[in-house]
């Protein structure tokens, strides 16, 4: 049987190992989740959100401990880990306060004496979550799913199994009933059977486009809804009239949060020709100042990549992009020594078709592309299979807003700021970045059925 291993990415040392569940153990988890749902769906929403409020309190009380766990298992610097835990608390508090109103019956006119639409929970929802935000991704999915009256099975990334188990303990301590939130230590080849199982009602995946296609095919074959938040090659369009200092700072921060290991990180920075030279030099200086080091050091701004294979893949993408004609202004060579570090890197003018233009670079690599003018910048921004997020920078905020709203092909478009998620706003992508939405009212209703009730 497979054993999942957690490894400290700053040293390469093994932390812990966990045996995968066999088919019998998974079957018992499915039974428990379905049994828990039968009772949980009947609990009044005011009571269902009480565990969310309690979870927020636990998260805040254990911020430092959870941040340290993330630093050890995936290399996230402590300052970023603390921010992640605090954001988890905020999404719990948001749905604790708003879920009742969002789930209220909605009167609709009809031929009936009374008719309305009632959002009803679907059942057991399987969440397949990644390693890069091991607390946030799981809480972002599970808090509204539980509040809506569903129960949750979480298949987390094997490399952050310690975080997964901490989340299971968190929800149980917060008051989610037995079986209501469970971790599945399952292998990938076990997931199609879990998705097809009649005890599972729906699936949520955050991951790669390739994983999204596989999950969508399995869910479609079983006639089950799914939400897919997939990869991205997010553009930042810097127009000629942009505030240079603001645009450089926002692009640098947006590119390098979580060591660049984020679906919505600023991947391609597209700068109008009149501003290109000044922007490039300012960005180069900003990137060169970043402090790379041990994620447990309070001074560290950028830690290692989460796994050795991820660093190797990023190094190949950079090498291939440079070989194709991109210039490397900073970094570009993985250091020797312990840990899976990769330096802050700046590539400029990668040719169309190179990895830096076509693929998702999951790491601290910024790519600068020159645009001839505004129209060319918009064309370049949309010239990708992905459509998760996009940003635009201009002193003419009204014009930038019109471009963001009408012309950038993305699920989220930000004006004069880098892309981020907010519990109050729906989050998700278009094109190869997936479908469906998390967060906001849309995220709460994603795993509900709009039930029509007609009363004569």
Long-range contacts from 278-284, C-beta under 8 angstroms, 24+ separation: 278/244, 279/238, 279/244, 279/247, 279/248, 279/368, 280/329, 280/348, 280/368, 282/244, 282/245, 282/248, 283/248, 283/251, 283/252, 283/346, 283/366, 283/368, 284/329, 284/330, 284/346
Inter-residue contact 333 to 343 (CB < 8 Å): yes
168 is catalytic: no
251 is catalytic: no
Active-site choice (88, 92, 163, 263): 263
Phi/psi of residue 219, nearest 5 degrees: -70, -40
Between strands 3-8 and 13-19, the pairing is antiparallel
Residue from 442, 29, 424 nearest 227 by CA: 442
Which residue reads 């539980």 in tokens? 146
Inter-residue contact 207 to 158 (CB < 8 Å): no
Q: How many CA atoms lie within 13 Å of 16's alpha carbon, on the beta-carbon side? A: 13
Inter-residue contact 231 to 208 (CB < 8 Å): yes
Q: How far is CA 12 from CA 5, 7, 64, 130, 329, in A?
A: 11, 6, 23, 20, 29
Angle, helices 63-74/78-102, rounded to nearest 10 degrees: 120
Active-site choice (80, 98, 168, 229): 229
The residues carrying an active-site annotation are 229, 263
């Amino acid at each position: 049987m497979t054993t999942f291993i957690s490894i400290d990415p700053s040293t390469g040392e093994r932390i812990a190992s966990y045996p995968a569940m066999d088919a019998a153990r998974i079957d018992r988890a499915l039974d428990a989740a379905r049994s828990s749902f039968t009772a949980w769906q009947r609990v009044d929403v005011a009571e269902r959100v009480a565990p969310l409020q309690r979870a927020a309190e636990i998260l805040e009380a254990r911020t430092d401990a959870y941040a340290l766990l993330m630093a050890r298992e995936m290399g996230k610097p402590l300052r970023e880990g603390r921010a992640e835990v605090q954001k988890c608390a905020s999404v719990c508090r948001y749905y604790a306060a708003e879920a009742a109103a969002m789930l209220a019956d909605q009167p609709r006119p009809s031929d009936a004496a009374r008719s309305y639409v009632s959002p009803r929970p679907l059942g057991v929802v399987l969440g397949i979550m990644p390693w890069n935000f091991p607390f946030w991704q799981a809480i972002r999915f599970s808090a509204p799913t539980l509040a809506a009256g569903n129960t949750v099975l979480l298949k987390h990334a094997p490399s952050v199994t310690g975080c997964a188990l901490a989340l299971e303990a968190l929800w149980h301590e917060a008051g989610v009933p037995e079986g209501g939130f469970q971790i599945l230590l399952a292998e990938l080849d076990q997931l199609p059977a879990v998705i097809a199982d009649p005890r599972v009602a729906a699936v949520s995946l955050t991951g790669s486009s390739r994983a999204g296609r596989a999950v969508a095919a399995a869910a479609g074959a079983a006639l089950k809804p799914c939400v897919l938040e997939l990869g991205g090659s997010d553009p930042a369009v810097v127009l000629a009239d942009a505030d240079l200092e603001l645009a450089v700072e926002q692009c640098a921060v947006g590119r390098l949060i979580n060591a660049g290991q984020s679906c919505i990180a600023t991947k391609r920075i597209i700068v109008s020709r009149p501003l290109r030279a000044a922007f490039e030099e300012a960005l180069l200086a900003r990137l060169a100042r970043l402090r790379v080091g041990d994620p447990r050091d309070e001074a560290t701004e950028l830690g290692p990549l989460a796994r050795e294979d991820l660093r190797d893949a990023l190094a190949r993408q950079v090498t291939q992009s440079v070989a194709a004609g991109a210039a490397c202004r900073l970094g570009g060579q993985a250091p020797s020594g312990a840990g899976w570090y990769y330096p802050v890197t700046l590539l400029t003018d990668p040719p169309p078709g190179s990895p830096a233009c076509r693929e998702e670079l999951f790491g601290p690599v910024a790519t600068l592309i020159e645009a001839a003018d505004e129209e060319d910048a918009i064309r370049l921004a949309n010239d990708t299979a992905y459509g998760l997020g996009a940003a635009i920078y201009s002193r003419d905020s009204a014009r930038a807003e019109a471009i963001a709203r009408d012309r950038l092909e993305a699920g989220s478009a930000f004006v004069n700021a880098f892309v981020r998620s907010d519990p109050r706003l729906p989050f998700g992508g278009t094109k190869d970045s997936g479908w469906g939405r998390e967060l906001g009212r849309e995220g709460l209703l994603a795993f509900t059925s709009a039930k029509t009730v007609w009363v004569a």
